[in-house]
Amino acid sequence: MSTASTSTAPRRMRAKVRYNVPATIILLVCAITVAIPLFVTINMSLKTTAQAVDGRAFTLPAPLSGDAFAEAWSLTDLPRALSVSIFITAIAVVGEIVISSLAAYAIVRNWHRRLFRWSFFYLLAAMFIPFPVVALPQVQMTGMLGLDNPVGVAALHIVFALAFNTMLFTAFLRSIPISLEESMRIDGASTWQVFWRLIFPLLGPMSATVGIFAFLQSWNDFMMPSLIISDPRLQTVPVLQSMFQDQFSNNYNVSFASYLMAMAPAIVAYLLAQKWVISGLTQGAVK
Amino acid sequence: MSPSPLSRLQTSRRGLLAAGGALAATGLAGCGASGRKDVTFYQSKREIFDHIKMLLAELDAAQPQYRYVHDVASNLSAGFARRNPPDVALQNYNLEMSRFRERGGLSDLSDMEEASRIRDDIKDLADWYPPYPGRTSVLPWSVAGAAVIYNRAIFDEHGLSVPTTWSEFTALCTELQDAGVTPIYGTFADAWTLNQGMFDYTLGGMIDVRTFYEQVTEIGEEVGPNAEHSFSKDWQEPIARMLELLPFHQDDAPARTYNEGNTAMANGEAAMLLQGPWALPEIAKAETGAEMGMFPLPVTEDPADLKIRVNIDLALWIPEAADQPEGARELVKFFMQPEVQDTYNVDFLYLGTTKDAPPATDPRIVEMQSYYDEARYYMGASQFIPNTIPWANYLQAIVFGEKPETMLARLDSDWASLAYRA
């Protein structure tokens, strides 16, 4: 699209715009499927308990009440729970990107060696072992090693995601021409320098993708922290929030307030990361 | 490639690491700041979180030795597998929980003075589940007496009194229906409400639950159509009676959930609800002021057969592997004090477990007390089927129109195969 700069252009352009009616309708429906639950969440979180239990999700809050937020904040001890969640997520994201990219680099550049080729298949095989299958031995092992805490959970996240992430990185690495690397080596760079100065920056878009997956997985994970972390004071947000989901009682207003507060960091991180992915992709495209 | 995105990426990575390190430091600094020993206290039943939190604060202030860590999030199975369970717990006592006890995971509390204050029949109630020989492993703290919750205003309006026989009950339901009132509010979408409600009430009213399970446990893998006792044989009649209740529910019962049932009761949309005392505070949440009462569901023609459904709501226990058994015992002593225990039972509408516990006076559950004191109760039959058998779903299928014989035969074979595996 050309960038029109004269003052009369916008009016003429508007006349030319044609709407794709079916696509607009489909997009509207898609938007509604997200917007309505979000509206209900915000709406419910602002109600009093007496109003929240009446089962009418769309009635507006009357009276408007912020009590649910205060209660959710103190019930889950949100600042502490959020710190633990952020701690685990940060280690998982950084660890997954760094370790998987290193592994992928070593494997791709040594593909002709049997040890590396087979270690790749070995790593891939781990994709077929879901966490619940090995949960019990993991619980006992982390207990014996003193890793029944957030550090252990972060480490397990890194290890369990290693298979998928290494696969993503190897696929991407194969598309990077080896001549780039050779030119750097001629100038006297070591392998370590080549990786950090050349390969890792080039892997940017893929690192962003891996990072987003790592973030969402570790941030939202329930089962692993609930089984592995033994000290209740070091428990993550999703596990603590399970206290709002009880067979015998409901606190819609408090639980929705809590979900909203827990969602906030994820949304912020997602917006930032999304920007990265897009800029990374376009940079590669217009070389 | 311009250098700016790269450098931004690096700084933010460094920033993340720094933030992580700082967090780890503060997290670790949080532990062991005072000279007190940490005692982890696990609690199920999240709706009483605030009440328990208040009690723990009181206990923390009352003594200088221990600091009690309030835990509602831990996974018990993982804790026991790691040999690192909570030091003490106040928990719903059920079949799944009793496995820890049966295998000797819980310590003996019989030497505590508090253990001798528990009513003998309630101690025995805990032994309906497999005990560990020679140990008092759990101290029952509160008992839930469940029956038919009814709206007093609706009963008064139509000049109805509490029925004591099956024919009186069906006559009452017909009368309400003729007057345009829904007799019973059904919440069939939540399968567990069928289990604890119409199923447990008719079963418990018609057969001896404990004896029946002793029989089928003994028969084990032979349970089936040819055995002396089996689910399809002994349960056929009670299930048929249970199905007679269906026409007295509202039309959309299959689509309604537990929460909707409570709201409907609060709004006077139906006269009765088959639920336990845990539903009463939920009904009160809507703040409509509707007055409730409870009576046992009559399923025979003899008023002497009337019984209520009980279960141990909460029980105290200390694992063998507790790090701080002494601190745990301090907590048990504190929680077993009459003013602590009885206050909870009064406030949350449960029945006391000690010999000196005062009788319930709340009008909503007051009718339960005499049945409880005269031991006219049973534990819900559904509570003795392991979770590995999806009985609640089988029952739901029966209510939705599946033949009872088919589902009961399946329960028979499930029971037999579990017994074969054991």
Residue ranges covered by each domain of chain B = 37-144+312-378, 146-310+380-421
pLDDT of residue A6: 45
Task: Quote the distance between the C-alpha of residue B65 and its chain's center.
Answer: 33
A5 band by pLDDT with thresholds 50, 70 and 90: very low
What is the C-alpha separation between B150 and A85, in angstroms, rounded? 46
Domain A76-244 has CATH 1.10.3720.10: yes
- Collapse the DSSP code of B273 into the 3-class scheme (helix H, G, I; strand E, B; otherwise coil) and give the result: strand
- CB proximity under 8 Å: A 221-250 to B: 226-235, 239-240, 242-244, 246-250
pLDDT, residue A4, reads 43
Highest-pLDDT range among A245-259, B7-21, B110-124: B110-124
pTM: 0.79
Q: How far apart are CA B361 and CA B279, in angstroms?
A: 18
CB contact residues (below 8 A), chain A span 185-214, against chain B: 201, 204
Query: Cα(A51)–Cα(B146) distance, rounded to whole angstroms?
Result: 27
Q: Same topology for domains B37-144+312-378 and B146-310+380-421, yes or no? A: yes
Place of tokens 């949350």: B348
Q: What is the pLDDT of residues A172-181, one digit of tens each?
A: 888 888 888 8
Pairing of strands B270-275, B308-317: unpaired
Given a cut of 60, whether residue A234 has pLDDT beyond it is yes
Q: Do the chains contact at B285 and A230, CB–CB below 8 Å?
A: no
Q: Is the pLDDT of residue A270 over 80?
A: no
- What integer pLDDT is reported at residue B175 of this predicted model? 94
What tens digit of pLDDT does each residue of B384-415 get?
Answer: 999 899 999 999 999 999 999 999 999 999 99
ipTM: 0.72
Give the pLDDT band of residue B29 (cuts 50, 70, 90).
very low
Rounded Cα distance between B358 and B360, Å, is: 7
The backbone torsions φ and ψ at residue B272, rounded to the nearest 5 degrees and listed phi first, read -140, 155
Is B192 within 8 Å of chain A by CB? yes
pLDDT at B15 over 80: no
pLDDT band at A279 (very low <50, low <70, confident <90, very high): low
Q: Which amino acid is at A241?
A: Q
* B194-216 pLDDT per residue, tens: 999 999 999 999 999 999 999 99
Distance CA A273, CA A275 (A): 5
Q: Closest residue of A to B12, CA-based?
A: A94
Question: Phi and psi dihedrals of B151, rounded to 5?
Answer: -85, 110
Model confidence at A267, pLDDT cuts 50, 70, 90, reads: confident
Instruction: Map tokens 């209520």 to a residue.
Output: B308
- Give how far Cα B228 sits from Cα of A76, B106, B121, B222, Å: 53, 36, 29, 9
Confirm or reject contact between A126 and chain B (CB < 8 A): no
pLDDT band at A265 (very low <50, low <70, confident <90, very high): confident
Cross-strand partners of B294: B149
Q: Of A87, A94, A235, which has the smallest distance from its Cβ to B73's Cβ? A: A235
Per-residue pLDDT, A248: 64
pLDDT band at A276 (very low <50, low <70, confident <90, very high): low
Q: How many CA atoms lie within 13 A of B348 on its CB side?
A: 25
Please enumerate in sequence order all residues whose Cβ is within 8 A of that of B285, keeping only pairs 6 or more positions apart, or say none: A49, A50, A53, B262, B266
From B377's Cα to the closest Cα of chain A, the distance in A is 22
Name every chain B residue with its beta carbon within 8 A of the beta carbon of A282. Answer: none
Chain A residues with CB-CB distance to B45 below 8 A: 246, 248
Tokens of B277: 């005392």
Q: How far is A125 from chain B (nearest CA, A)?
A: 26
Give the nearest chain B residue to A244 (CA atoms): B46
pLDDT at residue A232 tops 60: yes
Q: How far apart are CA B119 and CA B200, in angstroms?
A: 24
* B134 at A interface, C-beta within 8 A: no
Whether the CB-CB separation of A47 and A68 falls below 8 Å is answered with: yes
Q: How far is CA B258 from CA A114, B254, B368, B385, in A?
A: 60, 11, 22, 21
* Chain B neighbors of A283, CB-CB under 8 A: 1, 5
Cβ neighbors of B103 (< 8 A, separation 6 or more) are B132
Choosing among A138, A249, A251, which should be mutated to test the B contact, i.e. which has the most B CBs within 10 A? A249
b/e burial code for range A196-234 (CB count within 10 A of at least 16 → b): eebbbbbbbbbbbbbbbbbbbbbbebeebbbbbbbbbbb
d(CA A238, CA A220): 6
The Cα of A157 is separated from the nearest Cα of chain B by a number of Å equal to: 16
Smallest CA-to-CA distance from B335 within B109, B47, B98, B107 is with B109
CA atoms lying within 13 Å on the CB side of residue B144: 22
What is the residue type of A96? Answer: E
* Count of residues in chain A: 287
| Coil, strand or helix at B66 | strand
Chain A, chain B: beta-carbon pairs less than 8 Å apart: 124
**Spatial distance between the Cα atoms of B412 and B231, rounded to a whole number of angstroms:** 6
The partner residue sitting opposite B5, judged by closest CB among A83, A230, A279, is A279
Give the pLDDT score at A129. Answer: 85
Q: Looking at residues A26-54, what average pLDDT do you find?
A: 87
pLDDT, average across residues A129-136: 86
Burial annotation B330-343 (CB, 10 A radius, 16+ → b, else e): bbbebbbeeeebbe
Question: Rounded CA gap, A123 and A137, in Å?
Answer: 19
pLDDT at A127: 86
Which residues of chain A lie closer than 8 angstroms to B26, CB-CB? 83
pLDDT band at B236 (very low <50, low <70, confident <90, very high): very high
How confident is the model at residue A70, as a pLDDT? 85
pLDDT tens sequence across A48-84: 877 777 767 787 887 878 888 888 888 888 889 889 9
Q: Which residues of A touch B31 (CB under 8 A)?
A: 231, 233
A248:B45 CB<8 A:
yes
The encoded tokens of residue A55 equal 């089962």
Is A153 within 8 Å of A95 (Cβ atoms)? Answer: no
Q: Provide the chain A residues 50-69 that lie in CB contact (below 8 A) with chain B.
A: 50, 53-55
Give the B window 35-54 contacts with A, CB below 8 Å: 40, 42, 45-47, 49-50
Cα torsion A221, A226, A231, A235: sign: positive
Per residue, what are the HEC states of A4-38? CCCCCHHHHHHHHCCCCHHHHHHHHHHHHHHHHHH
B25 pLDDT band, cuts 50/70/90, is very low
For domain B146-310+380-421, which architecture applies?
3-Layer(aba) Sandwich (3.40)
pLDDT over threshold 70, residue B20: no
- Is the CB of residue B413 less than 8 Å from the CB of residue B345? no
Report the Cα–Cα distance between both ends of chain B, in Å, rounded.
66
Distance CA A53, CA B279 (A): 13
Superfamily of segment(s) B37-144+312-378 = Periplasmic binding protein-like II (3.40.190.10)
Contact indicator for B216, B381 with CB cutoff of 8 Å? no
pLDDT for position B10: 45
Rg of chain B taking only CA atoms, in angstroms:
25
What pLDDT does B164 receive? Answer: 93
- Nearest one of A227, A82, A207, A58 to A141, comparing CA atoms: A227
Both tokens of B339, joined, read 């003013």
Asked if the Cβ–Cβ distance from A233 to B260 is below 8 Å, we say no
Nearest to A136 among B69, B81, B83 (CB): B81
Q: What is the mean pLDDT of chain A?
A: 83
B335-376 residue pLDDT tens: 999 999 999 999 999 999 999 889 998 999 999 999 999 999
Average pLDDT over residues A88-112: 93
Are the Cβ atoms of B16 and A90 closer than 8 angstroms?
yes
pLDDT of residue A255: 85
Cite the DSSP H helix spans in B188-267: 191-194, 200-206, 209-219, 231-234, 236-243, 258-266
With a CB cutoff of 8 Å and minimum separation 6, the contacts of A129 are none
Cα-based torsion angle of the residue sequence B11, B13, B19, B23 in order, rounded to the nearest 10 degrees? -170
Contact B262 A53 (CB under 8 A): yes
**pLDDT on residue A280:** 52
Q: Provide the 3-class DSSP secondary structure of residue B311.
A: strand
DSSP state of A199: I
Separation in Å, CA B280 to CA A259, B155, B312, B353: 27, 18, 17, 20
The whole-angstrom separation of Cα A125 and Cα A164 is: 10
Nearest residue in chain A measured CA to CA from B49: A75
Dihedral over alpha carbons A81, A82, A86, A92 (to 10 degrees): 40
Q: What percent of chain A is predicted at pLDDT more than 70?
A: 87
pLDDT reading at B8 higher than 60: no
The length of chain B is 422
The interaxial angle of helices B325-335 and B338-347, nearest 10 deg, is 60
B78 confidence band (pLDDT: 50, 70, 90): confident
Contact B259 A232 (CB under 8 A): no
Chain B touched by A282 (CB under 8 Å): no
Residue with the bigger pLDDT between B161 and A249: it is B161
Closest CA to B101 of B67, B119, B76: B76
How much is the pLDDT for B1? 37
Whole-number Å distance between alpha carbons of B334 and B230: 45
Q: Six-digit token pair at A4? A: 């029109």
| Window 83-122 of B, Cβ < 8 Å to A | 83-84
Residue A24 clears pLDDT 60, i.e. is over it: yes
Strand B377-379 relative to strand B270-275, pairing: unpaired
What would the pLDDT profile of B113-171 be if each residue is shown by its tens digit? Answer: 888 999 999 988 888 888 888 888 899 999 999 999 999 999 999 999 999 999 999 99
Residues of chain B with pLDDT > 90, as a percent, come to 62
pLDDT at A40 over 80: yes
